[in-house]
Structure 1
Amino acid sequence: MSAEPRKRFVGRKTQDGSASSTEVTRKPVRRALNQIPLDILQDEALNEAIKLLPKNYNFEIAKTVWKIRTAQSKRVALQMPEGLLVYACVVADILEQFCNVDVIVMGDVTYGACCVDDFTAMSLGCDMLIHYAHSCLVPIDVTKIKVLYIFVTISIDEQHLVNTLKKYLTGQRLALVSTIQFNYTLHSILEPLRMQNIQAVASQQMPLSKGEVLGCTSPRLDDTAVDAIVYIGDGRFHLESCMIYNPDIKAYKYDPYDKSFTIEEYGHDEMRAVRKESINKAKYSKTVGFILGSLGRQGNPKTLELLQSKFIERGFAVVSVVLSEIFPQKLAEFTGIDCWVQIGCPRLSIDWGYAFSKPLLTPYEAMVMIGQDEWLPNNAYPMDYYATKGYGRGQLPRA
């Protein structure tokens, strides 16, 4: 393949927010800070060092110092998404100076909460992993070493957001969603919106936080009770998850960085047609390759075992492959495989599946293929991968 394939599904921006406002500085969360000893909170040298980081990004340095000291850690790994790696060396220097620990910055790509890489951190001799900018998708009681999740809550201009929604969506019933960085803002504006005659709720897909969405996991909304989805954040990846699961509800995006407010659209019919075509082609397969994602904790061995047993029962030959990242060129090197089922990121198949020479199915699509799951009505496509009973947790969502 000579050229990198273009992403198939994109949206359009059709509306800009222009409400005026002033910058809002968020107050610290007292419940968490009250647990931290005063000698850390009032350490002048530490507080001076913290000023090297952006003031509207909460890296929770004092909490981190306290946790490292309490655990008596000797070597700590830092794992950040690419957008935060620019601050990694500053954070590492602070922790080395004030905790007397070795710090390793993990440079491998980190797409989301599923990429928590405690295995690699442990192999590097670390006794603690600090994972930034994602929620606790992988519980700390199942990781191989201590894991501290830092959400990196970002302070934004909340009044501008409220004014924007008042200007365009007064009288409507809204479902507010965001990534974990803006989840505090989402909840803090609920009451101000109600005072402006805007009904707003923070919908939930358990076990995620209320209002939180991931690229593969979003709440299923009642289109008779919700007029519009409003996503707070930049980019479209996480918003698309909610749109895919709720095709009949209009979606908006408020970007807190450039303060734009846009209507977002998605090619639902085209996406479903492409995915149905892949499933129909895969039905004629004799040998099915199962890919267990090894990027952090993306791949669930229980899911692999569940799917393979179903396919073996139906007479398919199965082959297991472990990959950290999945590319068309890599899979093309395998001969004798008629189709693939990847247990990693469902969005890889949805967004990029057409670029592969053989069908590349998600666990959901694989189960539809063998009659163990079904297409949802009303053009919806399930985004419940890491829900409590999702395929990502080795469960059968609609069993």
Structure 2
Amino acid sequence: MTNYQFKIDEILDKIRSMGAKVVGLQFPEGLKVHATEIAREIENETGAMVLISGDPCYGACDIADVEMEGLVDFLVHFGHTPLPIDHKVPTFFVEAHYQLESMEILKESLIHLEGTEKIGLVTTTQHLHLLEDAARFLEENGKQVLMKEGKGTLKGQVLGCNFSSVHDLPVDTFLYLGSGNFHPLGIKLSTKKPVIIVDPYLNQVRDIDEFADRILRIRFARITRASEAEKFGILVSSKGGQSRWELAKVLKKMIYKEGKEAYLILLDEINPPSLMPFMDLDAFIVTACPRIAIDDSKMYEKPLLTPQELEIVLGRRDWEDYEMDEIKY
């Protein structure tokens, strides 16, 4: 069916044991293409009715339990590991491990790791099952591999909003197994150490330095522009796993102490159209998903800042102490 492991038999057993009549399914964007196929198998095998969430899903912080409360008996969430938050509906998490055809790409990484002894090995949910084999390969080639659990994350796992598994890890270099640049960027900015990306999808090994430099230049430009702002919008998420209401109130007080205006704005989806009615404000601070300000900044007419970037704007933090925003679970 796919290169992903969806644990269908385990899901079917859970549905039967619970006697669930209506089952909810939720997928991140990259896995939604498998939704109807999985729904068909569940309905054929159990007789339960399936309700598929069609809304965007950004992670385990964005569970469809609130929307599905009263509609389903059981929710299956694909692609993420659970966070320490309560859910309105019994929820089963399926990590949806990606099956790689080969780990040959790791051999190429040894060239980039030449002269490096202690390696921090890191990945995302879809590749957690590959870490032990990757660690064994590196150790057989003379490397010392270190991994640890984070606050709310498994050993060697990072999230887009949580890099606690790499904090204070005594290594020379981090090796990130996976695709994309955001997670390696977070590792780099959280640790100030070299990060090598082993991307099995592109069959490529690269470092994050050039991308990190480009992002930091963009962030510096946003901060510089926002330093002239007099009126700020503080964006608060209504998503359970992204809501940082207490932080938002602290930031509002901080801004007022500097003689500037601040307004709290509650949103479920943060996107350019949702901010259009508030164009009288000069800049926005995102207390929701930390990726929004970094990944999507070019989409917005006004600067979007992280809470740490606001501190730089207000003179409470030096640019040299720049940090990635993280959600502490």
Instruction: Indicate the TM-score class for this superposition, using the shorter chain for normalisation.
Output: 0.7 to 0.9
Residue 319 of structure 1, CA deviation: 2.4
Residue 87 of structure 1, CA deviation: 1.3
Residue 343 of structure 1, CA deviation: 1.9
Residue 150 of structure 1, CA deviation: 0.6
1:292 corresponding residue in structure 2: 236
Stretches of structure 2 that go unaligned for 5 or more consecutive residues are none
Question: One-letter code of the match for 2:323?
Answer: P
Partner of 2:301, secondary structure, is coil
2:51 corresponding residue in structure 1: 104
Q: Structure 1 288/166 Cα, relative in aligned 2: closer, same or farther at 3 Å?
A: closer
Aligned equivalent of 2:326, options 364, 385, 390: 385
Matched, 1:353 2:279: no
Could you tell me the percent identity over the aligned residues? 28
1:210 corresponding residue in structure 2: 155
1:137 corresponding residue in structure 2: 83
List per-residue Cα deviations over 1:250-279 (Å, max 9, x = no partner). Answer: x22222235332333334455445434434
List per-residue Cα deviations over 1:212-239 (Å, max 9, x = no partner). Answer: 112232245569x533322111222322
Which segment drifts farther, 334-343 or 298-307?
298-307
Partner of 2:44, secondary structure, is helix
Question: One-letter code of the match for 2:75?
Answer: L
Residue 335 of structure 1, CA deviation: 4.2
Partner of 1:341, secondary structure, is strand
The structure with higher relative contact order (CA 8 Å, sep 6+) is: 1
Give the TM-score taking structure 2 as reference length: 0.85
Partner of 1:319, secondary structure, is strand
Residue 134 of structure 1, CA deviation: 1.2
2:123 corresponding residue in structure 1: 178
2:306 corresponding residue in structure 1: 362
Residue 180 of structure 1, CA deviation: 0.8
Stretches of structure 1 that go unaligned for 5 or more consecutive residues are 1-52, 394-399
List per-residue Cα deviations over 1:352-377 (Å, max 9, x = no partner). Answer: 335533332212223444466x3474
Question: One-letter code of the match for 2:183?
Answer: H
Residue 151 of structure 1, CA deviation: 0.4
| Whole-angstrom distance in 1 between the partners of 2:237 and 2:142 | 46
2:180 corresponding residue in structure 1: 235
List per-residue Cα deviations over 1:75-121 (Å, max 9, x = no partner). Answer: 22111112211211111112122232211111112232322221112
| Whole-angstrom distance in 1 between the partners of 2:112 and 2:53 | 43
Trace 1:184-223 onto structure 2 (pairs within 5 A). 184-219=129-164, 220=166
Which segment drifts farther, 80-89 or 225-234?
225-234
| Whole-angstrom distance in 1 between the partners of 2:302 and 2:245 | 23
1:90 corresponding residue in structure 2: 37
| Whole-angstrom distance in 2 between the partners of 1:134 and 1:265 | 28
Is the 8 Å Cα contact of residues 170 and 197 (structure 1) preserved in structure 2? no
Partner of 1:291, secondary structure, is strand
Is the 8 Å Cα contact of residues 332 and 357 (structure 1) preserved in structure 2? no
Q: Structure 1 364/258 Cα, relative in aligned 2: closer, same or farther at 3 Å?
A: closer
Which segment drifts farther, 185-194 or 289-298?
289-298
Trace 1:1-399 onto structure 2 (pairs within 5 A). 53-54=1-2, 56-122=3-69, 125-139=71-85, 142-157=86-101, 159-166=103-110, 169=113, 172=116, 173-219=118-164, 220=166, 225-249=170-194, 251-294=195-238, 297-312=241-256, 316-370=260-314, 374-375=317-318, 377=320, 381-383=322-324, 385-386=326-327, 390=328, 393=329
Q: Structure 1 339/384 Cα, relative in aligned 2: closer, same or farther at 3 Å?
A: closer
Q: Structure 1 68/309 Cα, relative in aligned 2: closer, same or farther at 3 Å?
A: farther
| Whole-angstrom distance in 1 between the partners of 2:245 and 2:198 | 38
Is the 8 Å Cα contact of residues 240 and 266 (structure 1) preserved in structure 2? no
List per-residue Cα deviations over 1:18-74 (Å, max 9, x = no partner). Answer: xxxxxxxxxxxxxxxxxxxxxxxxxxxxxxxxxxx33x4221112212222222222
Q: Structure 1 384/359 Cα, relative in aligned 2: closer, same or farther at 3 Å?
A: closer
Question: One-letter code of the match for 1:253?
Answer: I
Question: One-letter code of the match for 1:66?
Answer: D
List per-residue Cα deviations over 1:200-220 (Å, max 9, x = no partner). Answer: 222443221121112232245
Runs of 4+ in 1 over 6 A off after TM superposition: none
Bigger radius of gyration among the two: 1
Partner of 1:261, secondary structure, is strand
Partner of 2:150, secondary structure, is coil
Question: One-letter code of the match for 2:10?
Answer: K
Aligned length: 327
Residue 315 of structure 1, CA deviation: 5.0
Question: One-letter code of the match for 1:362?
Answer: T
Q: Structure 1 189/319 Cα, relative in aligned 2: closer, same or farther at 3 Å?
A: same
| Whole-angstrom distance in 1 between the partners of 2:298 and 2:269 | 17
List per-residue Cα deviations over 1:8-27 (Å, max 9, x = no partner). Answer: xxxxxxxxxxxxxxxxxxxx
Is the 8 Å Cα contact of residues 176 and 203 (structure 1) preserved in structure 2? no
List per-residue Cα deviations over 1:120-151 (Å, max 9, x = no partner). Answer: 1226x122221111121253xx1111111110
Residue 192 of structure 1, CA deviation: 3.4
